[in-house]
Every structure is written in structure tokens, then in C-alpha cells.
Amino acid sequence: MFSPEIIKLTTEVLQMARDKGYHLAAAESCTGGLIMGALTDIAGSSDVVDRGFVTYTNRAKMEVLAVDGKIIKAHGAVSTECAKAMATGALKASAASFAVSVTGVAGPGGGTIEKPVGLVHMAIAGRDGTVLHEKHLFGEIGRDKVREATVIAALKLFQRAMI
């Protein structure tokens, strides 16, 4: 179901978390649960995977992750600010050591000049107060490829945060 690259990265992320005693969570919009799907596709992942949140709508982001509606109104759901708020909200709503979030425009439609198809904002929040953000412009490579690239980038962000 997942590419060899995703399987390799997922295995590495899980082992890294296991070795350090960390637990992981994800707040997903444009990937619709694919990050958690990749993590839980590996047998034995339950010792480090805490929970996942699929918050596709703005309402879900506000209700489930406590993203302030003012952030969405001022910056939009696909923004640095929203990604950071999603990650910190997922961390607060979980028992995870780290929570990653992704929000973007997977396409094929929905893009604008300011927020084109292939734009993804992601963030990771840690219990130590660390919040990292990345902006990716994957381009109009197709919905499936944008989502796959987002999963790969999110797994790499987990690795970066756990070092």
C-alpha cells in the first residue's frame, strides 16, 4: 500500500521513537490520515503511536484541536500559523511526546495565486516547547503525489525533531 521509501522512513521513525521512549501523534488535513496509516501499518507500532486526528474542515480544526478561529480567519487553514496551532493542539489533546500537523492544497483544484496547488504547511510540536515549521511547494504533481510527498516530509520532520 505504501511506497518502499515511506515504509523505510516509517520504520526508522518508529525505532527512533522507541529507542528514546517517545510517543507520536498526528493532526492531518490534506493527507486525511495517511501519516497515521503509514505508522500503524508497521506491526508493533502501538508502543509509540498514541493517536491521530483527521481535521479536514476548519470546524474540525477548531473543535478538535482548539485552533483559534481568528487564526483561520486571518491567515487561512493553509498557513504557517494554522499548522503550528494544529500541532500544539494535537500535542495538548494527546499523550504524545511529539505531534506533527499537515495542512495544504493537494489539488487538483482549490489553489490560488497565493496558495497554489501543491502548497503544504507542516509543523511539529514537542513537550519541551519546541515548535518547528516547514513550508513545501510540491507543485501540481497530482493529488496522490502531493499527499505522498507530504507523508514523506512529515516523517522526516518527526526524525528531525527527535534528534
Q: What is the pLDDT of residue 1?
A: 84
**The pTM is what?**
0.97
d(CA 38, CA 9): 9
Is the confidence at residue 100, as pLDDT, over 90? yes
Average pLDDT over residues 155-161: 98
Q: Domain segments of the chain: what residues?
A: 4-162
142-163 burial: b if 16+ Cβ within 10 Å, else e: ebeebbbbbbbbbbebbeebbe
Please report the sign of the dihedral spanned by the C-alpha atoms of residue 18, residue 20, residue 21, residue 23. negative
Q: What is the pLDDT of residue 17?
A: 98
| Cell numbers standing for residue 23 | 510517543
What's the maximum distance between 2 C-alpha atoms anywhere in the chain?
43
- Look at residues 86, 77, 76, 146 and name the one whose alpha carbon lies nearest to residue 118: 146
Confidence of residue 87 (pLDDT cuts 50, 70, 90): very high
| Residue 62: alpha-carbon gap to chain centroid | 16
pLDDT in tens, 17-69: 999 999 999 999 999 999 999 999 999 999 999 999 999 999 999 999 999 99
Is the confidence at residue 123, as pLDDT, over 90? yes
pLDDT in tens, 134-154: 999 999 999 999 999 999 999
Q: What is the pLDDT of residue 143?
A: 98
- Please enumerate in sequence order all residues whose Cβ is within 8 A of that of 79, keeping only pairs 6 or more positions apart, or say none: 71, 103, 121
d(CA 7, CA 132): 24
Architecture of domain 4-162: Alpha-Beta Complex (3.90)
